[in-house]
Amino acid sequence: MVKDYTLNEITIQVIQYLKDAKRTEFNRLLDELHPYDIARIYELLPIKHRNRFLSFLNIAQLASMLQELDNEQQQNVLNHLGIEKAVKVMDKMDNDDLVTLLEELLPESKEKFLANMKKEESQVVQDLMNYSPETAGRLMTNRYVWIPQHYTVKDVMNKLREYAEIAESINYLYVINDKKQLIGVISYRDLILSEPKEQVETIMYERVISVTVNTDQERAAQIIQRYDFLALPVVNHDNVLVGILTVDDMIDVLIQEASEDIEKLSASGKDIDFDTKAPIAAYRRLPWLILLLFIGLVSGTIVSTFEETLQKVVALAFFMPMIAGMTGNTGTQSLAVVVRGLTSRDINKKVVMKLIFRELLVGIIIGLTCGILISIIAYIWQGNPLLGLVIGSTLVITLIIGTLAGTIIPLILHQFKVDPAVASGPLITTLNDVLSLLIYFGIASIFISHLM
């Protein structure tokens, strides 16, 4: 019955059940919903109904809903629940999600929750938190099925039935030896196509693609994406299987990395979304803007150096915004190609040299096209062929330099493993401003006597 309703309609129904305290009907309805939807309904509920809503949900439902809420809402729910129930819910949560939740809490609440959780669970979570952020170790889950190498297909099927409920992914079964080292993998598909008596060892793939606990999360996500895997095993430095990464978490990593690329290109500051409060958003963007303000003043200093030239031929000022703007634009275009390319493929010297040469050629083509065009326009507009030539040749040079700056700067930063956020679009734009003005007034000063 519930199947064709929109979330708003379901929420109205939920409110009715809450008002009438119809717990059975409430549970029947909620059983049909995904955790994501339950979380959305919780957000849609008026505050006054939330307490009863939470008290009607069972521990498992609370755990899966909590995983779909943002951090602020998670903390609200935890406060509502009280420490005792909250800890029970935490015990049921996927440990990777739990780590993310705990990290955002104040140190004292974190300690309080950890102290009250089941010992083994709190140990697992604390182990995970010891890995560096953005590594495979931090994101892996321990809810997977491992198979000793001497098992038969039938043994595996029995084990699977036993563990299906707690395993996050049963698409791949990882085979381990008696030292718990990862030695093979079987897909579930291969398993149901095999005879029950067959030995796992004989049907498994030996070339298991795995990552270590220290592998960067972006690298792990790339592997999942390239191989179309649904999960990826994580081993420690003795090749002992310690967890798996699941495709849903890796999608989130890919999206996060794409957002970071966009932050780089726009210097928009970390972690600003629609819900960020204005003072926080402003605070995160200001450092960049103030830096760029000072670099912008460098442009001003350059212009002031050429004050005399400018005073003699004011028309030079008319083309300043266009030249600086165009150089910035070509730089941003190249930057986007490089930043995006770096995330999607592996880099070696040959690739880099080819790319730089390509962008040089692009710069020349773009520079010549725009340079010739603007020469003609400037000549017609200002009636001065030499002015046209000065502006045209400036644009040829600055567009080539702009393109190369947008290509080489991020590559160098990548090479030296500097946080590539430094190579932000506005930074390259502003640097290109400075360069282009230097070249413009440099060329203009040479021809100044003829320009007047």
CB of 49 to a second copy, least distance (A): 20
Our CB check for a second copy shows the closer of 215 and 299 to be 299
Interacting positions 413-432 with a second copy (CB under 8 A): 425-426, 429-430
- Does residue 412 touch a second copy according to CB under 8 A? no
Our CB check for a second copy shows the closer of 136 and 313 to be 313
Q: How far apart are CA 63 and CA 89, in angstroms?
A: 5
Interacting positions 371-410 with a second copy (CB under 8 A): 373-374, 377
CB of 8 to a second copy, least distance (A): 11
CB of 227 to a second copy, least distance (A): 5
Q: How far is CA 232 from the centre of its chain?
A: 19
Interacting positions 318-347 with a second copy (CB under 8 A): 318-326, 328-330, 332-337, 339-341, 344-345
Helix (H) or strand (E) holding 259: helix 247-266
CB of 114 to a second copy, least distance (A): 26
- Does residue 437 touch a second copy according to CB under 8 A? yes
Q: How far apart are CA 58 and CA 37, in angstroms?
A: 16
CB of 438 to a second copy, least distance (A): 11
Our CB check for a second copy shows the closer of 95 and 122 to be 95
Amino acid identity at 397: I
Give the count of residues interacting with a second copy (CB under 8 A). Answer: 118
Interacting positions 165-194 with a second copy (CB under 8 A): 165, 167, 170-171, 188-189, 192-193
What tokens does 63 get?
């755990």
β pairing state of 241-246 and 146-148: unpaired
Q: What is the DSSP letter of 247?
A: H
Amino acid identity at 54: L
* Dihedral sign, Cα of residue 43, residue 49, residue 51, residue 53: negative
- Taking Cα atoms as reference points, which of 213, 215, 245 lies closest to residue 232? 245
Binding range to a second copy, per CB under 8 A, among 46-54, 69-77, 84-92, 260-268? 260-268
- Does residue 54 touch a second copy according to CB under 8 A? no
Q: How far apart are CA 393 and CA 267, in angstroms?
A: 31
Q: How far is CA 110 from the centre of its chain?
A: 26
Tell which one of 48, 107, 290, 383 touches a second copy (CB under 8 A). Answer: 290
- Does residue 44 touch a second copy according to CB under 8 A? no
Query: Under 8 Å CB-to-CB from 360, ≥6 apart: which residues?
Result: 400, 403, 404
Which long-range contacts link 107-112 to residues 24+ away (Cβ below 8 Å)?
A: 112/83
CB of 37 to a second copy, least distance (A): 8
CB of 108 to a second copy, least distance (A): 31
Residue with tokens 């790319």: 355
